[in-house]
């Protein structure tokens, strides 16, 4: 059984978590980053990051995370893959338990940097067809739909970014949104809606999946007059928003009604010694550059907490 003691344990292996680890390790704090088995950081699902300063040609999301990881390791950060099930507070710190084994870790401080994951539609048979016609990641699965017809559900920046990527592969792409107007920024709308293989369907929501043993398409409902239409397609990509990866913190720290962690100006949560940063934090801008900055902010707060001037 492992029961190592650390100055800080960072839960989450995304831009916020690795940025925090770089700073705490450089400050000579014994640092462990725990990355998830189950939920990959959103960045590794990004084909090209075009808006991070210092990469004028863009950079692949996986490559970006690998560089952060290598930099954190360079300064002595330990990295472990596992999923945290519980954080228990005691007089002088915290006990962190993992789901994959009987291992637990003791730490003086904790930084939560678990990010967020895609929301699901919540319709019948959605779980049944995940990976068999339903996807939440165009970068992961787009190549499977070469010269096929697909639908993307959503009208925001994520949906349009995923759709632009898919147009490189698919024969026909339908973008379906419950509002008459899309919420994506104008440049993304311009890039997508001028493509010849793209058609919009608004204001509609997905009511049902067509197909019993295999995915055949979807039944759509107009939100204004309740009329319905059938759309036959080879696949559906769901891009309707996110939810934070904070379920394991229920009852421990204060969160808003959506599960985002509430912090103070030092990024400390309602529990002294536990900090939060990045996309899992209430009020975060939800951009990679901001996640890195918040990771640094949380790390500096931890350093000050452990090594007060």
Is 280 tagged catalytic?
A: no
Phi-psi region of 163 (alpha: psi -120 to 50; beta: other; left: phi over 0): alpha
Of 269, 270, 266, nearest to 300 by C-alpha is 266
Of 153, 107, 155, 156, nearest to 133 by C-alpha is 153
Q: Where are the alpha helices (DSSP H) in 15-112?
A: 15-26, 61-74
Catalytic member of 83, 103, 125, 141: 141
Is 277 tagged catalytic?
A: no
Is 140 tagged catalytic?
A: yes
Cα(15)–Cα(2) distance, integer angstroms: 27
Catalytic member of 7, 47, 137, 292: 137
Is residue 140 classed as helix, strand or coil in its secondary structure?
A: helix
**C-alpha dihedral, 201 to 206 to 212 to 214, nearest 10°:** 50
Give catalytic residue positions. Answer: 137, 140-141
């Amino acid at each position: 059984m492992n029961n190592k003691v650390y100055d800080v344990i960072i839960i989450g292996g995304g831009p916020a978590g690795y940025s925090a680890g770089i700073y705490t390790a450089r400050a000579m704090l014994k640092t462990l980053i725990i990355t998830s088995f189950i939920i990959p950081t959103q960045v590794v699902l990004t084909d090209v990051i075009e808006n991070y300063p210092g990469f004028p040609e863009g950079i692949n999301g996986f490559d970006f995370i690998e560089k952060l990881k290598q930099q954190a390791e360079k300064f002595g950060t330990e990295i472990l893959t596992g999923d945290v099930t519980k954080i228990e507070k005691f007089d002088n710190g915290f006990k962190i338990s993992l789901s994959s084994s009987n291992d637990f870790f003791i730490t003086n401080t904790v930084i939560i940097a678990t990010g967020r994951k895609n929301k699901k539609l919540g319709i019948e048979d959605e779980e049944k067809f995940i990976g068999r016609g339903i996807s939440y990641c165009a970068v992961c699965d787009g190549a499977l739909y070469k010269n096929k017809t697909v639908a993307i559900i959503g009208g925001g920046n994520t949906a349009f970014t995923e759709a632009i990527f898919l147009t490189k592969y698919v024969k026909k792409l339908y973008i379906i949104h419950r509002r008459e107007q899309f919420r994506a920024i104008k440049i993304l709308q311009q890039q997508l809606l001028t493509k010849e293989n793209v058609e919009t369907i608004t204001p509609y929501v997905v009511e049902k999946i067509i197909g019993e043993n295999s995915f055949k398409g979807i039944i759509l409902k107009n939100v204004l007059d309740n009329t319905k239409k059938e759309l036959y397609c080879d696949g559906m990509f769901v891009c309707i928003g996110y939810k934070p990866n904070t379920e394991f913190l229920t009852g421990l720290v204060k969160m808003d009604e959506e599960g985002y962690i509430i912090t103070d100006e030092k990024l400390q949560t309602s529990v002294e010694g536990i900090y939060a940063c990045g996309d899992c934090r209430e009020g975060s801008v939800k951009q990679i550059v901001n996640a890195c900055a918040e990771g640094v902010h949380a790390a500096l707060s931890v350093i000050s907490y452990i090594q007060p001037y």
